[in-house]
Structure 1
Amino acid sequence: MKFYNSLGPNPRMVRMFMAEKRFTVPKVDVDLRGGENRREPYLKINPSGQLPALELDDGTVLAEITAICEYVDEVKNDTPSLIGETADERARTRMWTRRIDLNIAEPGTNGFRYAEGLKIFQNRIRCIPQAADDLKAVAREKIAWLDALMGDKPFITGAKLTMADILLFAFIDFFKGVGQPLDPACKKLTTWFEAMKARPSAAA
């Protein structure tokens, strides 16, 4: 089994998830900045050219972060599930993971790609520079929306750490380094972020 790793919030999210699950696997670093992921031989491993990817012992390749995390959660079943132990818990985790992915991670990341990251990405993907500011605004608005819903919960879905928390942490931490810092007015998420940052897995 191999984990194809690189810079960026997507691989970091999976590394942090694996660390929480105490799941260890050999890592192969791929040069994202140099575009190694957009050419052979990596394209034979993952035709989408995206990172990360997890190659299983039988040669099967998993290449979407939530799919990789769900696989790890199931096969490493001697540790608490980060998806959920019941149908209700799993549904809430998946609901919030999707909301965070679609409404915060994707628009914020594309806002970066189309602006600060344009020189890196303009020859790799279709970029829409004129959309960058609006996409960043969408992410900010949804972060504020989520902050208002946090209440006294220590984690996104309630009392337990889940995949939703790990996904959001990886992207909020990435955003602050590319001109999209967490608004201090989001007091609940600021407290949550500091608690997440203090977890040993955050260093993965």
Structure 2
Amino acid sequence: MKYYTSIGPNPRVVTMFMAEKGIELPTVTVDLRGGENRRAPYNVAVNPAGQTPALELDDGSVLTEITAICEYLDERYPEPTLIGTTAEERAATRMWVRRIDLKICEPLTNGFRFAEGLPLFEPRMRCLPEAAAGLKACAEDGIAWLDPLIAGRDFIAGDRLTLADLMLFAFLDFGASVGQPIDPRFTNILRWFDAINARPSAGASKY
């Protein structure tokens, strides 16, 4: 297998996932700022959507999208699992990943793309600068919703580290670097964030 990575929170999720599981793969770094992901051969031979990360399998086929890549790797390398060992655990992980993605990660990322990231992204995709402030507010609403739900527990899905933790951490850490820091009033999120940030996978994946 071969792993295509770059700067940005999406590939960082997969990099942290692999670090937590002790997976080491041949890696190709794609120059996102230089637009390598938006031109051939990458957007022809690897990912026609022009995004990272991507995982080239042994048969030459390619997986994209962080949840698909991580679930595949969890099945190929089942110990330690970051998705779940039972149907109930896997369902809970997927539920929390979906909630975090829709309520926090997506609006946070697009809030950046349509504001601070506009010079980079405007030539590459449809941008809505007028929506930036509202999207950032939506991301903060999502954080406010999650904060009381994780009071008294170490991880998003309960008592086990999952993909949901790695996804939320990577995006919140990215947000803090582009003008969307975690509000100090979200004490449960900050406690959780500091604990994940202390894990070796967070340092190993820092771009």
Quickly name the TM-score band, shorter chain normalised. over 0.9
Aligned counterparts of 1:55 and 1:160: Cα–Cα separation in 2: 29
Q: Which residue of 1 aligns with 2:83?
A: 83
Task: Determine whether 1:153 maps to 2:153.
Answer: yes
Q: CA deviation at 1:148?
A: 1.4
Deviations along 1:81-105, one digit per CA (max 9) or x if unpaired, are: 1001111111110001001111110
Q: Which residue of 2 aligns with 1:144?
A: 144
Q: Percent of aligned positions with the same letter in both sequences?
A: 63
Task: Determine whether 1:163 maps to 2:170.
Answer: no
Task: Determine whether 1:55 maps to 2:56.
Answer: yes
Task: Determine whether 1:68 maps to 2:69.
Answer: yes
SS in 2 for 1:88: helix
Aligned counterparts of 1:88 and 1:32: Cα–Cα separation in 2: 37
Alignment of 1:36-51 (within 5 A): 36-44=36-44, 45-51=46-52
Deviations along 1:51-107, one digit per CA (max 9) or x if unpaired, are: 010001110100100000001101002x12100111111111000100111111000
Q: What are structure 1's unaligned runs of at least 5 residues? A: none
Aligned-partner residue type, residue 108 of structure 1: L
Runs of 4+ in 1 over 4 A off after TM superposition: none
Aligned-partner residue type, residue 67 of structure 2: T
Deviations along 1:106-134, one digit per CA (max 9) or x if unpaired, are: 00000000000000000101000000000
> Aligned-residue CA RMSD in angstroms?
0.6
Task: Report the TM-score, using the length of structure 2 for normalisation.
Answer: 0.97
Aligned-partner residue type, residue 76 of structure 2: V
SS in 2 for 1:99: helix
Aligned-partner residue type, residue 165 of structure 1: D
SS in 2 for 1:109: helix
Aligned-partner residue type, residue 10 of structure 1: N
Task: Report the TM-score, using the length of structure 1 for normalisation.
Answer: 0.98
Q: Which residue of 2 aligns with 1:134?
A: 134
Deviations along 1:14-50, one digit per CA (max 9) or x if unpaired, are: 0000000111101101100011100000012100001
Q: CA deviation at 1:172?
A: 0.3
Aligned-partner residue type, residue 22 of structure 1: G
Aligned counterparts of 1:177 and 1:53: Cα–Cα separation in 2: 24
For these two proteins, the number of residue pairs brought into alignment is 203
SS in 2 for 1:28: strand
Q: CA deviation at 1:189?
A: 0.8
Q: CA deviation at 1:187?
A: 0.4
Aligned counterparts of 1:172 and 1:179: Cα–Cα separation in 2: 11
